[in-house]
Amino acid sequence: MKPQNLTWWNARVSLLYAVGIWTMFGTYAYYQTYVWPRKKDEPQNTNVGDEQVSSIGRGLCVLLGISVEDTPRDMEYMVRKILNIRLFEDENGRAWSRSVMDRELEVLCISQFTLQCYLKGNKPDFHSAMPAELAQPFYTSMLEQMRSAYRAELIKDGQFGAYMQVHIQNDGPVTIELESPTGPMDSKQLAKQEKQQQRKEKTRPKPPSESGREKAAARQRVDPSASSGAEGDVSSEREP
Q: For 190-224, how does the pLDDT look when each residue is reduced to its tens digit (9 = 90+)?
A: 667 667 767 766 765 665 555 666 666 666 666 65
CA angle (134, 135, 138) in 5-degree steps: 95
Higher pLDDT, 161 or 182: 161
Catalytic pick among 71, 114, 175, 182:
114
Tell me what pLDDT residue 71 has: 94
For position 96, what pLDDT does the model report? 95
Provide the percentage of residues in the chain whose pLDDT is more than 90. 43
Residue-wise pLDDT tens digits, 19-37: 222 222 222 223 445 555 6
Q: Is 199 left (phi over 0), alpha (psi -120 to 50) or beta?
A: alpha
d(CA 111, CA 89): 27
Q: How confident is the model at residue 163 (pLDDT cuts 50, 70, 90)?
A: confident
Question: Which residues, listed in sequence order, are joined to residue 107 by a DSSP beta bridge?
Answer: 60, 155
Percent of residues, the chain, with pLDDT higher than 70: 56
At residue 79, the pLDDT reads 96
pLDDT of residue 119 exceeding 80? yes
Q: Is 133 helix (H, G, I), strand (E, B) or coil?
A: helix
State the pLDDT at residue 223. 61
Q: What is the pTM of this model?
A: 0.58
Is residue 57 pLDDT above 50, yes or no?
yes
What average pLDDT does this structure show over 180-189?
62
Query: Is 23 among the catalytic positions?
Result: no
| pLDDT over 80 (residue 40) | no
pLDDT at position 42 over 70: no
Query: Which phi-psi region, left, alpha or beta, contains residue 18 (left: φ > 0; alpha: ψ -120 to 50)?
Result: beta
The dihedral sign for the CA sequence 101, 106, 112, 114 = negative
Report d(CA 32, CA 87) in Å as an integer: 18
Strands of the sheet containing 155-157, edge to edge, are 155-157, 106-111, 59-65, 32-38, 176-179
Q: Residue 52's beta-bridge partner residues?
A: 47
Better-predicted residue by pLDDT, 235 or 205 = 205
CATH superfamily for domain 9-189: D-tyrosyl-tRNA(Tyr) deacylase (3.50.80.10)
Residue 3: CB atoms within 10 Å: 7
Pair type for strands 176-179 and 32-38: antiparallel
Contact between residue 179 and residue 193 where contact means Cβ atoms under 8 Å apart: no
103 or 33: which leads in pLDDT: 103
DSSP state of 49: T
